[in-house]
Structure 1
Amino acid sequence: MIAMQELVQRTIDQLVESGAELGVQVAVYRHGELVADAVAGAADPEGGRPVTPDVPFFSASTGKGVTATVVHVLAERGALDYDTPIAELWPEFGAHGKGGATIRHALTHSLGVPAVPSGLTVKDLADWDGMCALIAGTEPWWEPGTRTGYHAVTWGFVMGEIVRRAVGKPISQVLEEEVAAPLGIADELYFGVPEAELGRLARLEDAPGSAGMLAAMPADLPLFKATPPAVTPSAAYGNDPLVLTSDIPSGGTMSARAVARMYAALLGEVDGVRLISPERLREITALATADVDQMVGFPAPRALGYNLGRPGADPQQTPSVFGVPGMGGSAAYADTATGFSYAVTKNRFFPGPSAAVDRIAALVAEAAEN
């Protein structure tokens, strides 16, 4: 698979040379083997520090796929069950008619608690207990399980508190112990990044046109009502030490090769490590919901904690592909039909579609056909 390495490297070199990107990582696994591990450009827009494969990038909601994986690993060993009412683990969450909401509802963004107060700050996000109390006390926008809507900020706290109540540990610790350490990627896949590691991270910068992209979106979009500007991902948000060092598992910090390796270990064995059984893989990647997302206004096919469909393609035509993109342009996916997993991390933050992700996804799809 030397050709894959060459194709990926050529693609990201072109993106950097054209000025479209600053620094990029791409990793591709097939059937548990690393077949491309490519980097290009600068990890730091000011100092010019080059990107290397081990540099972690703040990758926004790409971290949601990592959070979902932690939950599935715990389910695999019997620590929780998808159909358990959340209030059985976390009694306070049952307030305002949420007593019947299950872990499955949480995984599929159908809890009905997608919003945070308009004045919420990053300091508030860093207060785990405060955020969990806030969400538990929220009156749902719809009856849990009856609709779906992207829970941009609240999702990670709900899933993380489910994990904490189930096993008595913060989700960052469970990620390290149950996923990252067994796969040998504990220093490249994080929720809360240790303060001593901050100097290793890539630095983000806003891409030209970012502000215009956001301004062009409908002002009355429910997603904007649910997610105030102070806690909406941006370059400044992704460079904030308080964000990076806190457990905010709606996002995450990772290298491309680390998160691609994690997805590879969902599909099958990677150097003797398999995270879940084939039976559970089928369960968690099956279509779970496909109704109109109440936050963005269009259908969003989802499995249990992952989006379904290849980036840049019709999701209905690529249902075997699962993963999560991040606002800003990073993404990680796997394909149960082909055995490929891949990830793109980058530091030029643009809130719209990611040309880098679409191009890599197309390259992988083409390789799978040959």
Structure 2
Amino acid sequence: MQDQIQAVVEEIVASGAEGGLQVAVYRHGEPVAEAVAGPGITPDTLFHVTSTGKGVAATVVHVLVEQGVFAYDTPIAELWPEFAAHGKGGATVRHALTHTLGVPGVPVGTTPEDLCDWDGMCAKIADARPWWEPGTKQGYHPQSFGYILGEVVRRATGQKISQSLHANVASPLGVAGELYFGVPVAEHGRVARLSEPEGTPEMTPEMFASFAEHVPFFRVVDGWTAAPPAAMPTAAYCNRADVLAADIPAGGVASARALARMYSALLGEVDGVRLISPDRLREVTAPAVSGVDEIAGLPTTRGLGYGLGFDGPLDGPTLFGMAGSGGTAAFADTATGIAVAVAKTTVSAGDYTTFNRIADVVAKAASTS
């Protein structure tokens, strides 16, 4: 598998489809492939992986539930009283994990600077009016997901979610320098610069207005939207020093190796470390909600904090994980014991061709071993 994946990675970069690429695969707790290609890309390079980081945030929450710090059915307002505003008092951590909370948006004028202001964003989200009664519908929470779970963690532990990630996940797994919410400024030089394909248009007010009229993801409700036009996860956004340094746990910065290692430690032991029990693994990867997503407008099945299944060679009911808007992804399969992560420099919005080319090699190798 190592040789096959390295060959595919080099071919993809040589073709110009990707500028830089990093892949890691674990099986049954052991690394079986680690491949890189592209100028300056090493196994230690860090990448902004956008919403692939949501799986990391969910993992932090599961570890804390495992430790008994709070429960999935703990009302958020029990830890964060301000969140009870406008009828959200009964909303639970489970609702947040399953994107059924009803607070998928942020103010339409939200900027990157706003997203870097933790207290300011949390205050706005706490005072948000829900778009639906918590638990009655599901709809992807692109930015609010990270702040809600992160503030739950902070209120329950006294630590930022970045600190809890370091203490409870990254450090025990030996990837403390490769798995981040909020990258120390001294480490910014290790973060790959992202770019968009030539000819990618910028989001103009006119484009946003057209999208808001026709695409659920962009609609505006009482001045709030799931996709604030000034803070979309473009290459320019992901490359910003303030964004890299801030806790914005709806996204994340990581190496493919760290992501694959984390997912492998959810499945079982990695060098003696297992993040959650077998019973909890079954709970968090079981279908929790299914149906049409109110924001994405597509049929979606979710577990607790992870998507279930992913269209491509690895697809199946035992696959769980998260993909990022720029084409990155990290998934694990409870049936095969495989964990795979792909990070890259080219922001291919919603296009997972590269991930699925890697997934094809992994799936074929797994089926014959």
- Tell me the TM-score normalised to structure 1 length: 0.94
| Alpha-carbon shift at residue 218 of structure 1 (Å) | 4.6
- The residue type paired with residue 9 of structure 2 is I
Deviation at 1:335, TM superposition (A): 0.3
Identity %: 60
**Cα displacement string for residues 194-249 of structure 1 (whole angstroms, at most 9, x for unaligned residues):** 01110111000112354399969954322223211211101000100111000000
Cα distance, 1:213–1:168 mapped onto 2, change above 3 Å? closer
Distance 2:312 2:243 in 1: 30
Cα distance between partner residues in 2 of 1:7 and 1:368: 13
Of residues 320, 324, 327, the one that matches 2:325 is 327
Residue number in structure 1 paired with 2:130? 140
Map 1:113-132 to 2 at 5 A. Answer: 113-132=103-122
The one-character-per-residue Cα deviations of 1:127-180 (angstroms, maximum 9, x if unpaired) are 111100100100000000000100001100000001111111000000000000
SS of structure 1 residue aligned to 2:120: helix
Q: How does 1:44-83 map to 2 (within 5 A)?
A: 50-83=40-73
Partner of 2:340: 342
Which amino acid letter does the alignment assign opposite residue 109 of structure 2?
G
Q: Name which of 33, 38, 61 aligns with 2:35.
A: 38
Of 89, 100, 103 in structure 2, the residue corresponding to residue 99 of structure 1 is 89
- What is the aligned residue count? 358
Structure 1 residues without counterparts, runs of 5 or longer: 43-49
Contact 1:210 1:351 in 2 (8 A): no
Question: What is the alpha-carbon distance in structure 2 between the residues aligned to residue 15 and residue 264 of structure 1?
Answer: 26
Q: 5 Å matches for 1:231-246?
A: 231-246=231-246
Task: Give 1:214-233 correspondences, 5 Å limit.
Answer: 218-219=211-212, 220-225=214-219, 226=225, 227-233=227-233
Counterpart CA distance in 2 for 1:230 and 1:86 is 29
Q: Equivalent residue of 1:365, what SS?
A: helix
In 2: Cα distance, 1:355 partner to 1:100 partner:
41
Cα pair 2:314 2:363 within 8 Å, conserved: no
Residue 175 of structure 2: which of 185, 194, 200 is its match?
185
Stretches of structure 2 that go unaligned for 5 or more consecutive residues are 220-224
| Superposed CA offset, 1:311-332 (max 9, x none) | 42595xx010000000111110
User: 4+ runs of 1 displaced by more than 6 Å?
Assistant: 212-217
Contact 2:314–2:360 at 8 Å: present in 1 too?
A: no
Please point out which of 1, 5, 8 is paired with 1:8.
Answer: 5
